[in-house]
Amino acid sequence: MSTTVTRVLKNGSKVPWIGFGTGTALYNRDAEKDVLRAIDAGFIHLDGAQAYGNEDSLGKAIANAKVPRESLWVTTKLGALNGQTVEESLKGSLQRLGLDYVDLWLIHTPTGLEDKLKDVWKQFIEVRNKGLAKNIGVSNFRIKDLEKILEGGDTEIPQLNQIELHPYVLKATQPLLDFQNKHGIKTESYGGLIPVSTKTDGPLAPVLKEITSEVAKRHGSPVTEAQVLLKWLEARDIIIVTTSSKESRLKEYLDALNVPQLTPEEVSAIDAAGSKLHFRKFGQHMDS
Ligand SMILES: NC(=O)C1=CN([C@@H]2O[C@H](COP(=O)(O)OP(=O)(O)OC[C@H]3O[C@@H](n4cnc5c(N)ncnc54)[C@H](O)[C@@H]3O)[C@@H](O)[C@H]2O)C=CC1
Ligand SMILES: O=CCc1c[nH]c2ccccc12
Q: What is the pLDDT of residues 72-122, one digit of tens each?
A: 999 999 999 999 999 999 999 999 999 999 999 999 999 999 899 999 999
Q: Is residue 215 part of a domain?
A: no
Determine whether 168 is an active site residue: no
Residue nearest to atom 41 of ligand 1 (CA): 21
Q: Are 258 and 2 in contact (CB under 8 A)?
A: yes
Burial class (CB in 10 A: 0-12, 13-18, 19+), 192: buried
263 C-alpha to ligand 2 centroid (Å)? 34
Indicate whether 1 pLDDT > 50: no
Task: Give the ligand 1 atom nearest the CA of 194.
Answer: 17
Residue 130: pLDDT band by 50, 70, 90 thresholds?
very high
Q: What is the pLDDT of residues 203-244, one digit of tens each?
A: 999 999 999 999 999 999 999 999 999 999 999 999 999 999
- The H or E element spanning position 21 is strand 18-21
Q: Which ligand is nearest to the CA of 223?
A: 1
108 C-alpha to ligand 2 centroid (Å)? 7
CA–CA dist 95, 80 (Å, integer): 17
Q: What is the ipTM of this complex?
A: 0.98
Query: Which of 20, 28, 46, 109 to mutate for ligand 2's pocket (most ligand atoms within 8 Å of CB)?
Result: 109
Q: What is the mean pLDDT of the chain?
A: 97
Cβ–ligand 1 contact at 140 (below 6 Å): yes
Write down the pLDDT at residue 253. Answer: 98
Q: Which ligand is nearest to the CA of 52?
A: 2
Q: Is residue 112 part of a domain?
A: yes
Torsion of CA 180, 184, 189, 192, to 10 degrees: 70
Q: Is residue 92 part of a domain?
A: yes
Q: Is residue 223 part of a domain?
A: no
Q: Are 145 and 152 in contact (CB under 8 A)?
A: no
CA–CA dist 12, 18 (Å, integer): 17
Q: Is residue 159 part of a domain?
A: yes
Write down the pLDDT at residue 203. Answer: 98
Q: What is the pLDDT of residues 35-84, one digit of tens each?
A: 999 999 999 999 999 999 999 999 999 999 999 999 999 999 999 999 99
22 C-alpha to ligand 1 centroid (Å)? 10
Q: Is residue 151 part of a domain?
A: yes
Determine the structural domain holding residue 118 and report its residue range. Answer: 2-194+238-245
Q: Is residue 177 part of a domain?
A: yes
pTM of the complete model: 0.98
Write down the pLDDT at residue 4. Answer: 83
Q: Is residue 167 part of a domain?
A: yes
Q: Which of 27, 52, 101, 168 is catalytic?
A: 52
CATH of the domain at 171: 3.20.20.100
Cβ–ligand 2 contact at 23 (below 6 Å): yes
Binding residues for substrate: 108
Q: Are 45 and 20 in contact (CB under 8 A)?
A: yes
CA–CA dist 2, 254 (Å, integer): 7
Write down the pLDDT at residue 3. Answer: 45
Q: What is the pLDDT of residues 135-191, one digit of tens each?
A: 999 999 999 999 999 999 999 999 999 999 999 999 999 999 999 999 999 999 999
Tell me the three state secondary structure of residue 136. strand
Contacts of 26 (CB under 8 A, 6+ apart): 34, 52, 54, 243
- Give me the number of domains the chain comprises: 1
CA–CA dist 165, 16 (Å, integer): 18
Task: Give the ligand 2 atom nearest the CA of 282.
Answer: 3
